[in-house]
Amino acid sequence: MSGSKAVAGATPDEPREPAVPGSSGMSLACADVSFSYEEARAPIPAVRDVSFELPAGGSLALMGASGSGKSTLLQVVRGLDAPDTGAVLLDGAAPVDAGYAALQREVGLVFQAPELQLFAATAREDVAFGPRRLGWPEEQVTAAVDTALDVVGLPPAHFAERHPYSLSGGEQRRLALAGVLAMRPRLLLLDEPFVSLDPGTRRQLVGILERLKAAGVTLLLATHDVDLAWALCDELLVLGEGRLVAAGPWDFSTAGGRLLAENRLREPFFVELWRRLGRDPQRAPRSASAAAEALS
């Protein structure tokens, strides 16, 4: 692994006031980003010459076959791995620009199965860890923790003093998400957040992400679940063997359908339904209630 590579131009951590709640999302641009894992034998390029733009407040589904480089790209965007070539621009700033490190701290990454990283003795302490590390004053930390617990549906009055391991699996995943949200990310990266969640917890998480999106947070969502990607994301980026295959609005033309199939994906349920009903698949609904509305 090369995760210890320093990010070029990063400035040392310094105390920083938390972003104002509801402050606008961060824009993201990747310019010719490449990253390879260093292996003893032939290196396997994980991300190759990837360029795309995601406007502030936008939502982008990051899709592609297993092994296409989605997790790697998220780690590079988060700054955990520095690109071999190319640059990740945050709000238009490059790594060499002043203030880039501060912008990086406003990027939140929710790992796969983030509940495995819970460690503190209480839910409150676990969520407070990130904000404290950022050097926030303690009253700001408390406020941020309370807000984050509320946002994920774990009201502090009932949950703040619970031991993380006494929570159900779904509650643990939401607690881990709260730990990222407490740092008030303006760009939220999620790596397969729905895997292994029961449908009830999935519905809750979709609701949380819809509220964050409405609040202006920029979303980059890596997922295999085309139905949830379609429900949550305005645009789609497809990776194939580390390269960008397509980026932009969803395209359900014949060519667009072929591109999905070639990348081991499929049409969302409502898109297939609309097509088979003889309706315009580009205007397919994104939820059961919207579909019922249109069919009523």
Partner 1 sequence: MSSSPDETAPLFDISGLHYRYAGAQADALADLDLTVHEGEFVAVLGANGSGKSTLARLLGGLEKPTAARHALACGHDLLVEDGRLSARRDVGVLFQNPENQLVAQCVEDDVAFGLENLAWPAADMRRRVDAMLARFGLEELRRREPHMLSGGQKQRTALAGVIAVPRRVLVLDEPTAMLDPAGRDEVLMAVREMHADGLAVVYITQEMDEAVGADRVVVLGGGTEAYAGTAAGLFADAVRVRRLGLGLPAAGELALALAERGHALRGLPLTIDELLAALGDAP
Contacts of 70 (CB under 8 A, 6+ apart): 62, 63, 64, 191, 222, 239
Query: Which of 162, 224 has the CB closer to partner 1?
Result: 224
Q: Report the residue number, 123 or 226, with the smaller CB distance to partner 1.
A: 226
Q: Are strands 59-63 and 218-222 parallel, antiparallel or unpaired?
A: parallel
Burial class (CB in 10 A: 0-12, 13-18, 19+), 14: exposed
CB neighbours of 177 closer than 8 A, spacing ≥ 6?
110, 114, 152, 193, 205, 208
Nearer to partner 1, 106 or 171 (CB): 171
Cβ closest to partner 1, residue 155 vs residue 169 = 169
List of residues contacting partner 1 (CB under 8 A): 39, 44, 64-68, 168-170, 173, 192, 195-203, 224, 226-227, 261, 264-266, 269-270, 272-273, 276-277, 288-289, 291-293, 295-296
**Min separation Cβ 63 and partner 1, Å:** 8
**Residue 44: in which H helix or E strand, if any?**
strand 44-54
Reduce the DSSP state of residue 18 to 3 states and report it.
coil
Nearer to partner 1, 174 or 186 (CB): 174
The Cα–Cα gap between 189 and 207 comes to 16
